[in-house]
Every structure is written in C-alpha cells, then in structure tokens.
Chains A and B, each alone.
Chain A
Amino acid sequence: MSDWVEACAAEDIDEEDVMRFDHGGRTFAIYRSPDDEYFATDGLCTHEKVHLADGLVMDDIIECPKHNGRFNYKTGDARGAPVCVNLKTYPVKVDAGKVLIQIG
C-alpha cells in the first residue's frame, strides 16, 4: 500500500512549474505550486493522452499543451472544455530535499 517512490529533488522543479516522472511503466506529473507545495497527478491528459508536463502551470491550474484543457492539479478536477474527465491525484511528501509520491 504505502509505496512511496522518490520522484526527484525538490529543487528540480521551479516554483509554479511541472515535471514529468516515469515509473514502473506509468507516467506522472509532479507540480510545485506558487506557494511552494508539491503535488502529483497522472501524467497524461484525459482528453487525448498528451503529457501534461509540457503544459503551463498557473496558480493551481495545469493547462494541457495540446488543446488547453485545464485541471486543478491539487484536486485533479477537470476545469473546462475540452476535458471532462478528472485527473487522478497522488499523495506527495518532501523529505530531506526529495520529492516522494505514493503510487497506489
């Protein structure tokens, strides 16, 4: 169950930015919010399976690079056309400068 996986160093991601993380044949997106918290979601957009890590982070929104679909990366909620299916989110913790995510 509590499968914490080290994703990257905390400083690898700029504030208000996102990074791709691949693990065990799956792909995730790890976010650092403007107020310096870390979050993780599935890495692919629910519209056309595009890597969200190429998208733009603004406040608590990640915008898909392909057609500008939006998600709240803290909750995974889809926030506007063309996306309508929510993103799965994962627990994250920062420990000794490392970002760990719990892959369920």
Chain B
Amino acid sequence: MVIIGAGECGGRAALALRDLGYEGPVTLVGDEPHLPYERPPLSKDAMTGEAPVIKAIASDELFAERSIRHIHSVRAVAIDRAAHTAQLSDGSSLSYDKLLVATGSVPRQLPMPGLGPRCVYLRTFNDALAIRAHLSAGNRVAVIGGGFIGLELAAAARKLGATVTVIEAQPRILMRGVPAEIAEIIHKAHEAEGVSIRTGQGLAAIADGGKEVAITLADGQTIVADLAVIGIGAVPVTALATESGLAIDNGIAVDEHLRTADPDIFAAGDCCSFPLAVYGGRRVRLEAWRNAQEQGALAAKNMLGADEAHAAVPWFWSDQYGLTLQIAGLSDEGKSIVRRDLDDSAFILFHLAEDGRLVAASGIGSGNAVARDIRLAEMLIAKRASPAPEALGSQAVKLKSLLAA
C-alpha cells in the first residue's frame, strides 16, 4: 500500500490501514519535511503563541511502532499505472498494489504582476513560520481575501497587535458557503477588534518593494503594508493524476468509494471530487479537516477490499476571536432559512430545501455554544429528515427529540 501526500488525509489513511489489521507494507510519501500535522492551528493558536508549534497527528515512534514507513521531503513525480509503480523525486520508485493519492490543495495564486517577497500565502507550517515573523505589534498586515484563512489570520494578527486591513473583492466577506446573517456577525467582530475591512474592492495594482507592499484598490486608494497575506481560495493538487490519464473534474474524480477509474488508485481529501450521497450524488470537492480524516479512513477500508460508500455530511468550523462558527451540510442546497436562538446571542440557521428537507445548518456563538445542536442537525441531515420549521425554531424543542421522531 502506497500513499502519496503525508497530510491529514494521508496520515490518517496510513494509521487506518493498521487499525483495520492490514499487515503488509505501508509507505507514506510526503514532500514536506515534517510528520503529518494539523493545518487548522496554523491560522489560529499556532500564530498567536511566541512561535508556531507543529501539531503532528502521530509521532515518529507511533509510525515506527505501527511499521508505517514515512518518506519525507520527497515528491512523487509520476505514476506508472501499467507497472504499478510511483516514481519519486529522489530517483527511486515504489511498487504498489493499491495507491492512495492524498495530495491536498494549494493556495490559489493571485494572477497579478508586482508580487514579491512580502506577498505570501498560508498553507504549510513553513509558511506559518515565515508569516509569524511579521506579525508583531506595530506591523501593518494586509489580508487579500475575506475567506476563512484570511479572517482567522487577521484575528491572530490583531491579537499580536498588528494593524490589519482585509480586502475583499465581493460585496461581503465569506460569500462562499456562509449565510449573510452570520458573515455580518463576523464582520462586526473584526471591526470591533480594530480590523479595517474593505469589501467590494478589486485590486488595481500591487507593488512589492521588498520591505513593504503598496496595494492599490479599484477606488484608487493605496494601502501600504509590511506583509500582504493572500487568501483567495485553494486549488486541488492533481498533476500526478492528470499525467497518468485519470479524469479530473474540479479535483481528481472518484466514485462514492473514493476510487478513480483505475481500480487500484484511490484519491481522498482536498484533492478529490466525489459524489455526495446526501444531495443525490452532487459532485463536490471539500476543503475541510474532518472530511480529510473521514475520507482517509474510508479510502483505507476500500483499499483493503471493502466496498463502502462515502455517506458523511460535510462539516466545517472556524474560530475567530472568541467566536466559533460551525456549518453542517452545504447551505447553498437550501431555499429557506429558520433561525433558532440559543443562549448568549448564539444562534443557528437551518437551511431547508423546497420540499422541507433539512439540508444544512450554520451556527455561530462564543466558545462551543452551537456545537451540540449543529451535531444533532448534522444527524438530521444525514437521516434526510424534514423537521417542522416551528420545532427547529423553538429553543424549547430539543433537537434530540426530533432525531428520535
């Protein structure tokens, strides 16, 4: 068994192969110099400490104990499907019976001239180290893109005392996948913390002088920053699959078993697109941590011959200041919204399809105020339930009771 990509998904898949009792060789190849580690802290806790600390998902000892061979700092450069081998950047090659491609995604590049050393992206621990060095009090940070990573980083930078401006081309932040009512709360939280948010602002020009960056907005204003962090989305890493003739459809295309058209090659995590059973097989690509874990574990199962279909509901969270947002399901499947208020101004929006089916739930509140109800909503979504809107909207009705119904 060979796994390409030693991230959340690849790491979990390797461990799952052993959990499932597989005793043959397991090789995990990754181009980063580290053990598989958690990325979510990189825009959150890891940034606000003295220096970023890596949070590995398993130790070297655990991998050794479980006979998982982890090859680091080496890239897979080609897959020879006929020969069942993967070629590596150090000139060696690995034979496989089953191969998992878990190459993840990388930040979308800003297609503009004028970028330079003070224009950076955040994906890896090394990126985080480089960014952290510029987040001290008094520094000016410009965040290009009002998505999750950019906003979390903005919150971290404020905590460290930097001056922060967020620039978003869309009319509001978090346009993709987050209801306006919730984006509004997050927007206000940032403003209350002193972040300047410029929405509806395209970029006219960027000039990186090496020590600072001048960003000219569409309206002619110029923002000068010591560091510009670009967070405008991510693109799946698919080159290996493309070059070996596998189909790409907004990610490496796999079926509900996470198998490509080649029965011996699987793909999972951020790099793949797959049919989502809860929405009638709608093809999606997710960039979410729990999905990477779940798909890693499922791919491992199916590599060992199970024929289990992916059935999970997408789930995502984000932390900014004291607020936590959680979303279960894809809210764009909904046609109407029912609001449920919880204690301490936390609330949940339930997204219902035309036929009344619950298709998604988005919640925001301080700490873990929305967690339990979002989790119950997720189970209702998985059951394809159509709970009465009045029940969803009333805090007096326990969601758990709807689940039993």
Chain A residues within CB distance 8 Å of chain B: 16, 50-51, 54-56, 63, 65-68, 81-82, 84
Residue pair B368, A54 in contact (C-beta under 8 Å): yes
B402 proximal to A (CB < 8 A): no
Pair count A-B, CB < 8 A: 39
Residue pair B12, A54 in contact (C-beta under 8 Å): no
Known contacts A50-B368, A66-B371: A56-B293 contact under CB 8 Å: no
8 Å CB contacts to A: which residues of B315-332?
A: 315, 317, 324
Residue pair A51, B368 in contact (C-beta under 8 Å): yes
Q: How far is the CA of A81 from the CA of B62 in the complex (A)?
A: 15
- Chain A residue contacts of B371, Cβ below 8 A: 54-56, 65-66
Q: Which of B297, B368, B376 contacts A81 (CB 8 A)?
A: B297
Q: What is the 8 Å Cβ interface bit string for chain B, positions 337-379, against chain A (1 contact, 0 not)?
A: 0000000000000000000000000000001110110011000
Q: Which of A50, A51, A66, A81 contacts B293 (CB 8 A)?
A: A81
Known contacts A51-B368, A81-B297, A82-B293: A63-B375 contact under CB 8 Å: yes
Residue pair B297, A54 in contact (C-beta under 8 Å): no
- Chain A residue contacts of B367, Cβ below 8 A: 54
- Chain A residue contacts of B324, Cβ below 8 A: 66
A73 CB to closest chain B CB (Å) equals: 15
A55 CB to closest chain B CB (Å) equals: 7
Q: How far is the CA of A50 from the CA of B38 in the complex (A)?
A: 17
B209 CB to closest chain A CB (Å) equals: 40
Chain A residue, CB-CB nearest to B15: A81
Q: How far is the CA of A66 from the CA of B38 in the complex (A)?
A: 14
Q: Which 3 A-B pairs have the closest CB atoms?
A: A65-B371, A65-B368, A54-B368
Residue pair A82, B368 in contact (C-beta under 8 Å): no
B130 proximal to A (CB < 8 A): no
Residue pair B317, A55 in contact (C-beta under 8 Å): no
Residue pair B375, A67 in contact (C-beta under 8 Å): no
Q: What is the 8 Å Cβ interface bit string for chain B, positions 16-38, against chain A (1 contact, 0 not)?
A: 00000000000000000000001
- Chain A residue contacts of B12, Cβ below 8 A: 81
Interface residues on B, range: 10 to 19
Majority DSSP secondary structure for residues of A touching B: loop
B289 proximal to A (CB < 8 A): yes
Known contacts A81-B293, A81-B297, A82-B57: A56-B376 contact under CB 8 Å: yes
- Chain A residue contacts of B58, Cβ below 8 A: 84
B290 proximal to A (CB < 8 A): yes
Chain A residue, CB-CB nearest to B371: A65
8 Å CB contacts to A: which residues of B119-160?
A: none
- Chain B residue contacts of A51, Cβ below 8 A: 368
A69 CB to closest chain B CB (Å) equals: 10
Chain A residue, CB-CB nearest to B293: A81
Q: How far is the CA of A93 from the CA of B317 in the complex (A)?
A: 37
Chain A residue, CB-CB nearest to B292: A81
- Chain A residue contacts of B315, Cβ below 8 A: 68
Extra A-B contacts (10), CB below 8 Å, given A66-B368, A81-B297: A54-B371, A55-B368, A55-B375, A56-B372, A56-B376, A65-B371, A65-B375, A67-B290, A67-B317, A81-B12
Residue pair A67, B372 in contact (C-beta under 8 Å): no
A81 CB to closest chain B CB (Å) equals: 5
Q: How far is the CA of A82 from the CA of B8 in the complex (A)?
A: 10
Q: How far is the CA of A68 from the CA of B317 in the complex (A)?
A: 11
Q: How far is the CA of A98 from the CA of B58 in the complex (A)?
A: 41
Q: How far is the CA of A95 from the CA of B369 in the complex (A)?
A: 32
- Chain B residue contacts of A67, Cβ below 8 A: 289-290, 317
Q: Which of A16, A65, A82 contacts B38 (CB 8 A)?
A: A82
Chain B residue, CB-CB nearest to A63: B375
Pick the most buried of B324, B367, B369: most chain A CB atoms within 10 A of its CB. B367
A36 CB to closest chain B CB (Å) equals: 16
Q: How far is the CA of A81 from the CA of B12 in the complex (A)?
A: 8
- Chain B residue contacts of A84, Cβ below 8 A: 58
B198 CB to closest chain A CB (Å) equals: 32
- Chain A residue contacts of B289, Cβ below 8 A: 67
- Chain A residue contacts of B297, Cβ below 8 A: 81
Q: How far is the CA of A68 from the CA of B289 in the complex (A)?
A: 11
Q: List 26 A-B contacts (CB under 8 A).
A: A50-B368, A54-B368, A54-B369, A54-B371, A55-B371, A55-B372, A56-B371, A56-B372, A56-B375, A56-B376, A65-B368, A65-B372, A65-B375, A66-B324, A66-B371, A67-B289, A67-B290, A68-B290, A68-B315, A68-B375, A81-B57, A81-B293, A81-B297, A82-B38, A82-B57, A82-B293
Residue pair A54, B290 in contact (C-beta under 8 Å): no
Q: How far is the CA of A54 from the CA of B375 in the complex (A)?
A: 11
B128 CB to closest chain A CB (Å) equals: 17
- Chain A residue contacts of B369, Cβ below 8 A: 54
